[in-house]
C-alpha cells in the first residue's frame, strides 16, 4: 500500500497507485473507517466517470483536466493492404496535466 500519499516502489519501478491505495491514504490522513474511505473514493470516481459520460469535462485544480473531444469521420488506410477505410466519428477523452502537476513530475 502507499504510505501516506507516497507511491510504493517495486525494485527499480514505482508501483501503480490503485483504488485500494487511495482508500488507505484517505483512511490514514482523515481518520475515517476503511469502509468510509473506500466509499468516499468510489463516490469520487463515480461522479467523475458519470460527468464524463454525460459529456462534461472534469477539471481538478492543481491536478489537471479530463477533456472530451468529438472527432469527425475521416479516411484511414489499412497498412497491410493499402485500402482506404472510413473511420467513424467518435468521442475521445484526453488528460491535460496542470502546470503544478507538470512541475512536480519534472522534478
35-80 confidence digits (pLDDT tens): 999 999 999 999 999 999 999 999 999 999 999 999 999 999 999 9
Can you give the pTM of this predicted structure? 0.74
pLDDT band, very low/low/confident/very high, at 8 (cuts 50, 70, 90): low
Long-range contacts of 92-98 (CB under 8 A, 24+ apart): 92/68, 93/52, 93/66, 93/67, 93/68, 93/69, 94/66, 94/67, 94/69, 95/64, 95/65, 95/66, 95/67, 96/64, 96/65, 96/67, 97/63, 97/64, 98/61, 98/62, 98/63, 98/64, 98/65
Domains of the chain: 1-54 (no CATH), 57-107 (4.10.520.10)
Amino acid at each position: 500500500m502507499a504510505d501516506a500519499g507516497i507511491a510504493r516502489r517495486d525494485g527499480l519501478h514505482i508501483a501503480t497507485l490503485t483504488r485500494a491505495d487511495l482508500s488507505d491514504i484517505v483512511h490514514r490522513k482523515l481518520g475515517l473507517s476503511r469502509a468510509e474511505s473506500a466509499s468516499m473514493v468510489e463516490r469520487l470516481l463515480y461522479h467523475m466517470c458519470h460527468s464524463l459520460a454525460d459529456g462534461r469535462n472534469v477539471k481538478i485544480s492543481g491536478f489537471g483536466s479530463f477533456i472530451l473531444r468529438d472527432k469527425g469521420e475521416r479516411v484511414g488506410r489499412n497498412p497491410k493492404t493499402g485500402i482506404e477505410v472510413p473511420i467513424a466519428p467518435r468521442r475521445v477523452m484526453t488528460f491535460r496535466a496542470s502546470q503544478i502537476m507538470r512541475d512536480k513530475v519534472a522534478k
